[in-house]
Amino acid sequence: MTAATLLPTYFLSHGGGPWPWMRDETGTAYDALDASLKDIPGQIGGKPKAVLAVTAHWEGPDFLLSSSSSPGMIYDYGGFPPHTYQIRYGAPGLPELAARAQALLREAGFGAQLDAERGFDHGTFSALYPVFPEADVPVVQLSLKAGLAPLEHLRAGRALAPLRTQGVLIVGSGLSYHNLRAFNARGAEASHAFDGWLRAAMALPPRERTAALMAWESAPAARQAHPREEHLLPLMVALGAAEEEPASVVYHEDDFFGALAVSSFRFGA
């Protein structure tokens, strides 16, 4: 992979908690998601120089970027087996990428700060472990911005687009359905309605697609699928960084957790 390669961007439905380390407990429930994530290196032609991971599990008054060269771990989940609180995903950070992303965001008029203390949360390490299990690709995390405005996150993606030609894989990690109070058969109707709309929106021409996603709250069952939109906003960053390029469904299930419809998308070839 050369530095001038134009990498695609991704929105990944990252699954629940530390699932890659719970295969004995979950059986085959995550097989399709696991396979879709393992396929990413083949899609992009190898390993990127680094990953910029937009995580649904971090918010700040400005955009925040993890800037440690050796990030720690954040076990931001509860009720899981003891061994999942000992997980280590040892990917290095890349302070120079954090600084470059900060500069691009500031040039676009955003406040952007570096955070040398932030470790990897499960939205990052659970999504990236199947992709790069050797943890040998540097990772910088990007937070969401308080207020959760879709347009601000779209604009942030636009600002970060130059990183795609510098060997940086931009990944938005969230979940296309995220209503934890109905994460079972009670959420089936809403998840299928919203996911169907979302996949149809992805097939629209670029300008219509952007307009549809900026107005996502008017989609069928939108607030049933996302009572709070933090797990959808990483999609807006991934879209903004590849706004004129086609979208592809790279993962879809109709019976996630036995009933739910969930999807992941790639923008670009």
| C-alpha closest to that of 153 among 250, 239, 261, 262 | 239
Token pair recorded at residue 151: 């347009």
Q: Give the distance from CA 164 to its chain's centroid.
A: 16
pTM of the model: 0.97
Token pair recorded at residue 116: 């040398």
Beta pairing partners, 256: 260
What pLDDT is attached to residue 2? 54
| C-alpha closest to that of 225 among 256, 266, 265, 267 | 256
CATH fold of 9-267: Protocatechuate 4,5-dioxygenase; Chain B (3.40.830)
Q: Give domain limits for the chain.
A: 9-267
pLDDT band per the 50, 70, 90 thresholds, residue 4: low
| pLDDT tens digits, 132-142 | 999 999 999 99
pLDDT at 54 over 90: yes
Tell me how far apart the alpha carbons of residues 143 and 101 are, in angstroms, rounded to a whole number: 12
Tell me how far apart the alpha carbons of residues 45 and 43 are, in angstroms, rounded to a whole number: 6
Tell me how far apart the alpha carbons of residues 124 and 264 are, in angstroms, rounded to a whole number: 15
Percent of all residues in the chain with a pLDDT value above 70, rounded to a whole number: 99
| pLDDT tens digits, 65-91 | 999 999 999 999 999 999 999 999 999
Region 14-42 average pLDDT: 95
Mapped onto helix, strand or coil, the DSSP state of residue 256 is: strand
Give the mean pLDDT of the chain. Answer: 96
| pLDDT tens digits, 166-205 | 999 999 999 999 998 989 999 999 999 999 999 999 999 9
